[in-house]
Amino acid sequence: MKPNADGVVLLSGGNPQIPKGYGNEPVQAYIKAMPGWKSDMGRRIDTLIEKAVPGVHKAIKWNSPFYGFEGDLWIVSYHCFDKYIKVTFFRGTSLDPVPPVASKTPDTRYFHIYEDKPFDEDQFTDWIKQAAALPPEKL
């Protein structure tokens, strides 16, 4: 795999390879390196999460942005694939309505964001607020 113009290697599906790190800086590096339309969507996702959960903690783990609370306690993450961004809600089965895509992990649900499909910011924000009120996942 060859680095892009910013020196970031894009892994399978165009997912940026960003070193593990805590705080806003590595998450912004990931968002900047997201290919095409996904970078603008990454900024939207990041802004919506920050507004819904003031003081949210951020990290890059396993080449994905994670959002949650101090102590490696996480509520949501996302990851780039070829045609969509996969948002992971770690306690997704407790959200109302439940995000549409099932997981092998019993509590986890996914929401896929596509370039050519509407993105319901109100629903997404509601899920984030609900997720923040639930016990986070220790990872």
According to the model, what pLDDT value does residue 5 have? 59
Closest CA relative to residue 60, chosen from 32, 95, 93: 32
Please state, in angstroms and rounded to a whole number, the distance separating the CA atoms of residues 110 and 69: 20
Please state, in angstroms and rounded to a whole number, the distance separating the CA atoms of residues 92 and 75: 9
Nearest 10 degrees: CA dihedral of 31, 32, 36, 40?
A: 60
pTM over 0.85: yes
pLDDT digits (tens, 9 = 90+) for 55-84: 999 999 999 999 999 999 999 999 999 999
Instruction: Give the confidence band of 14 by pLDDT, cuts at 50, 70, 90.
Output: confident
According to the model, what pLDDT value does residue 106 have? 93
Instruction: Give the confidence band of 8 by pLDDT, cuts at 50, 70, 90.
Output: confident
pLDDT digits (tens, 9 = 90+) for 98-137: 999 999 999 999 999 999 999 999 999 999 999 999 999 9
